[in-house]
């Protein structure tokens, strides 16, 4: 029997379901103070089809209900009211478009939110108010832009800010030194030289401005832009001056391979014969806590120079060119980068940490090299830009390397450390960033607080922070500019300053570009500057019964360990593994020198071959003679080193003789 199935199709036509869509756009994201941004708001009440929910941006789909009225509003994050509001009657299903020009009279970083309120009416005549706000649009508003004149206005000089913060001084390749109002970016005056000015000016306490030019002269101008003196140092000058007002000396390097010391009060007269290096100097000198001058050269050496007579105290072979300037830590540690000429890759390129006496603490290899100068944040992280399109953060011990920012081009300018966890940085891609130094990860970098794309690359001009504003220069083929930005994204927040707890927060150390550490012999933090046996030793005298540690300051013996204590939490400031190095078993002997400690092995113990010994001075170790209000009385971190004894044929070593730990007090009258 055949069974016939009859298929009956019922076509059910659903009622149209209206799903609103809305959007907001800005005509531009980056403007100058006083300019306007046109915001375009669109609201589409159109029919979506049969329960098709694609593109719904509203809170829910309003079936069978066509919106009758919509209110478009603009909310700025620093205001508690709407900057703009407009209500439109809806006729049919046409898309509503509203434009609003919003002026931004103050610099800052604004989050602009589009708010939509729309009304629907049901069959019973009841109105329902629907609301939606979109993701904010970030608008960056620069304070002002100053453009250098001429056809060669590239700015590689880092700005210096006057003591009263009213005037910015910067050099340009158009051969002019500019004085610019920090209030509105207008030119106050300019001073012509015979060459380009890549040197960053420095300002002394009386307001005089010092800088070098490629015409071979070092200039001193008064705050009115009048020449006080100039001095010929022969070669083109790219180096920036360092000022020691205690000694009334200016230090500056030249491409004639010499470091010069000029007397501030004697029309730039040379204080001593030029200190000769083996290569051109494009790096800038810095001044340590005891007055020692540190300068790098293209001959691969970093030099320590005695300011009394220009003699070399020591020199360190970095085995690659030093074009960036050093930065100085709380304990006098010297950080600097190396790079190969022309950007070549080399295993000798990287970041060095040296003690004030020239001993290498560590070296972080980075093949592309560092042309940037380092800055140091309040936690001791050394931040430096690389020739591999990245900015890195490296801790004081040199064993933790993190990517702080990825760029699309080289980062040759120095970063700057601001308060409220800001890091300011820019690269040759021309984008200026305010980063969060606390948030982010080591792979993708630190979180962005804000950014601003500038018209030209940033090559060597580094950001400078002052009074809640940050300044940076750009460099093009034929022109350059100085940009002024409000530091924080919140226009009402004015407390972002250079980080006061940082030992070296920005290029040249401060906003006057003086290039001198703020620490003195009395306030500098102590450090371990020499140990015996030295780190990495593989053939020391096994009959020795002690380890010797030299500190840069007289130390408090009880902070290494306290022999005979019965306290449960005694000071274990020194450990020597694998020995049991508790305070009751080790004996410390300070002799007549409170800066040198000999630590004797436990009675009956001896060193043995084929064992690696690891010694550690913990950061509890404290200086004995620190000023009462000093915050730098202990070591900045644990100092650890290892040594062993191996067979002659098993090792290959090149151990330099131990040298004195101390730089003499070169500021005395002797």
The conformation of residue 407, written as its DSSP 8-state character, comes to -
The β-bridge partners of 194 are: none
Closest to 353 (Cα-Cα) out of 379, 374, 377: 374
The β-bridge partners of 229 are: 220
pLDDT score at 627: 65
- 296 close to 304: Cβ distance less than 8 angstroms: no
- Among 231-240, 285-294, 340-349, 631-640, where is mean pLDDT lowest? 340-349
Q: Label residue 62 by pLDDT band (50, 70, 90).
A: very low
Q: Label residue 648 by pLDDT band (50, 70, 90).
A: low
- State phi, psi for 309 to the nearest 5 degrees: -140, 0
Tokens of 245: 């007002």
pLDDT score at 584: 59
pTM assigned to the model = 0.87
Cis bond leading into 533, ω under 30°?
yes
Q: Exposed, middle or buried, 556 (CB in 10 Å: 0-12/13-18/19+)? A: buried
* Residue at token pair 């508003």: 141
The stretch 421-443 carries a mean pLDDT of 92
pLDDT score at 442: 84
- 387 close to 343: Cβ distance less than 8 angstroms: yes
Q: Label residue 496 by pLDDT band (50, 70, 90).
A: confident
CB-based contacts of 472-476 (< 8 A; 24+ apart in sequence): 472/159, 472/413, 472/424, 472/426, 472/432, 473/155, 473/156, 473/157, 473/158, 473/159, 473/170, 474/155, 474/430, 475/154, 475/155, 475/156, 475/173, 476/153, 476/154
Closest to 26 (Cα-Cα) out of 135, 116, 117: 135
CA separation for the pair 570, 559 (Å, rounded): 9
The answer to whether residue 643 scores a pLDDT higher than 50 is: yes
The answer to whether residue 669 scores a pLDDT higher than 90 is: no
- Among 524-528, 616-620, 658-662, where is mean pLDDT lowest? 658-662
* CA-only gyration radius of the chain, Å: 32
Q: Which residue has the higher pLDDT, 457 or 625?
A: 457
- 340 close to 346: Cβ distance less than 8 angstroms: yes
Residue 21, C-beta contacts closer than 8 angstroms, at least 6 positions apart: 43, 44, 46, 55, 56, 57, 58
The answer to whether residue 657 scores a pLDDT higher than 60 is: no
> CB atoms < 10 A from the CB of 521, how many?
12
pLDDT (tens digit per residue) in 538-590: 999 999 999 999 999 899 888 887 655 555 555 668 888 888 656 557 788 88
Closest to 376 (Cα-Cα) out of 489, 486, 286: 286
pLDDT score at 104: 96
pLDDT score at 571: 62
The stretch 117-126 carries a mean pLDDT of 85
Q: Label residue 205 by pLDDT band (50, 70, 90).
A: very high
Q: Label residue 662 by pLDDT band (50, 70, 90).
A: very low
pLDDT score at 18: 66
The answer to whether residue 655 scores a pLDDT higher than 80 is: no
CA separation for the pair 596, 137 (Å, rounded): 61
The answer to whether residue 408 scores a pLDDT higher than 80 is: yes
- What does the DSSP assignment read for 481-505? EEEEEESSSSTT-----B-TT-SB-
CA separation for the pair 447, 445 (Å, rounded): 7
> CB atoms < 10 A from the CB of 562, how many?
17
The answer to whether residue 59 scores a pLDDT higher than 70 is: no
CA separation for the pair 497, 465 (Å, rounded): 6
The conformation of residue 91, written as its DSSP 8-state character, comes to -
- Among 324-328, 406-410, 647-651, 664-668, where is mean pLDDT lowest? 664-668
Q: Label residue 149 by pLDDT band (50, 70, 90).
A: confident
pLDDT score at 151: 64
pLDDT score at 122: 81
Please report the domains of the chain, with CATH numbers, ordered by start residue.
17-140 (2.60.40.150), 144-486 (2.130.10.10), 525-670 (2.60.40.1220)
> Counting every residue, how long is the chain?
670
Average pLDDT, the chain: 87
Tokens of 508: 């040249």
- 185 close to 145: Cβ distance less than 8 angstroms: yes
Alpha carbon 547 to its chain centroid, in Å, reads 38
pLDDT (tens digit per residue) in 85-112: 999 998 877 899 999 999 999 999 999 9
Classify 380 in phi/psi space as left (phi over 0), alpha (psi -120 to 50) or beta: left
The conformation of residue 413, written as its DSSP 8-state character, comes to S
């Amino acid at each position: 029997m055949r069974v016939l199935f009859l298929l009956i199709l019922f076509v059910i036509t659903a009622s149209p379901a209206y799903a609103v869509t809305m959007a907001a756009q800005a005509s531009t994201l980056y403007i100058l103070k006083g300019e306007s941004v046109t915001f375009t708001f669109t609201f589409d009440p159109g029919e979506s089809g049969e329960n098709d929910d694609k593109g719904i941006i509203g809170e829910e789909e309003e079936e069978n209900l066509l919106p009758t009225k919509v209110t478009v509003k603009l909310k700025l994050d620093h205001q508690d009211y709407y900057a703009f509001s407009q209500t439109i009657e809806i006729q049919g299903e046409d898309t509503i478009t509203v434009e609003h020009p919003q002026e931004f009279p103050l610099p800052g970083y604004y989050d602009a939110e589009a708010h939509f309120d729309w009304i629907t009416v049901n069959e019973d005549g009841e109105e329902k108010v629907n609301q939606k706000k979109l993701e904010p649009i970030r608008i960056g508003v620069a304070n002002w832009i100053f453009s250098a004149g001429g056809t060669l206005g590239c700015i590689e000089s880092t700005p210096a800010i006057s003591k009263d913060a009213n005037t910015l001084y910067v050099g340009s390749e158009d051969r002019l030194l500019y004085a610019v109002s920090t209030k509105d970016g207008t030119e106050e005056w300019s001073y012509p030289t015979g060459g380009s000015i890549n040197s960053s000016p420095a300002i002394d306490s009386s307001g005089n401005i010092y800088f070098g030019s490629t015409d071979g002269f070092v200039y001193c101008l008064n705050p009115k832009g009048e020449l006080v003196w100039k001095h010929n140092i022969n070669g083109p000058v790219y180096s920036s001056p360092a000022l020691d007002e205690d000694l009334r000396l200016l230090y500056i390097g030249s491409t004639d391979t010499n470091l010069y010391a000029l007397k501030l009060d004697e029309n730039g007269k040379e204080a001593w014969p030029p200190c000769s290096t083996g290569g051109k100097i494009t790096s800038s000198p810095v001044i340590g806590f005891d007055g020692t001058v540190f300068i790098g050269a293209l001959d691969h050496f970093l030099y320590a120079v005695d300011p009394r007579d220009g003699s070399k105290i020591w020199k360190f072979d970095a085995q690659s060119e030093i074009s960036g300037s050093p930065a100085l830590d709380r304990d006098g540690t010297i950080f600097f980068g190396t790079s190969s000429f022309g950007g070549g890759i080399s295993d000798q390129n990287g970041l060095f940490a040296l003690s004030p006496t020239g001993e290498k603490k560590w070296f972080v290899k980075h093949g592309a090299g560092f042309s940037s100068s380092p800055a140091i944040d309040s936690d001791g992280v050394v931040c430096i830009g690389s020739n591999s399109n990245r900015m890195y953060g490296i801790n004081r011990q040199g064993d933790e390397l993190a990517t702080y920012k990825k760029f699309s081009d080289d980062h040759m300018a120095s970063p700057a450390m601001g308060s409220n966890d800001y890091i300011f940085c820019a690269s040759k891609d021309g984008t200026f960033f305010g980063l969060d130094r606390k948030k982010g990860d080591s792979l993708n970098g630190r979180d962005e607080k804000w950014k601003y794309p500038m018209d030209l690359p940033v090559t060597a001009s580094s950001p400078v922070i002052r009074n809640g504003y940050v300044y940076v220069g750009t460099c093009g083929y034929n022109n350059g500019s100085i940009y002024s930005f409000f530091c924080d994204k919140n226009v009402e927040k004015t407390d972002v300053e250079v980080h006061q707890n940082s030992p070296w927060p920005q290029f040249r150390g401060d906003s006057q570009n003086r290039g001198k550490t703020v620490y003195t012999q009395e306030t500098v933090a102590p450090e371990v500057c020499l140990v015996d046996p030295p780190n990495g030793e593989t053939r020391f005298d096994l009959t020795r019964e002690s380890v010797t540690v030299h500190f840069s300051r007289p130390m408090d013996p009880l902070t290494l360990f306290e022999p005979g204590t019965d306290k449960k939490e005694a000071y274990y400031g020194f450990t020597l593994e694998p020995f049991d190095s508790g305070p009751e078993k080790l004996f410390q002997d300070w002799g007549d020198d409170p800066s040198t400690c000999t630590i004797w092995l436990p009675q009956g113990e001896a060193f043995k071959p084929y064992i690696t010994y690891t010694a550690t001075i913990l950061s509890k170790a404290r200086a004995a003679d620190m000023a009462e209000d000093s915050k730098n009385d202990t070591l900045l971190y644990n100092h650890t080193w290892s040594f062993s004894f191996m067979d002659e044929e098993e090792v290959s070593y090149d151990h330099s003789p131990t040298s004195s730990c101390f730089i003499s007090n070169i500021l005395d009258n002797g």
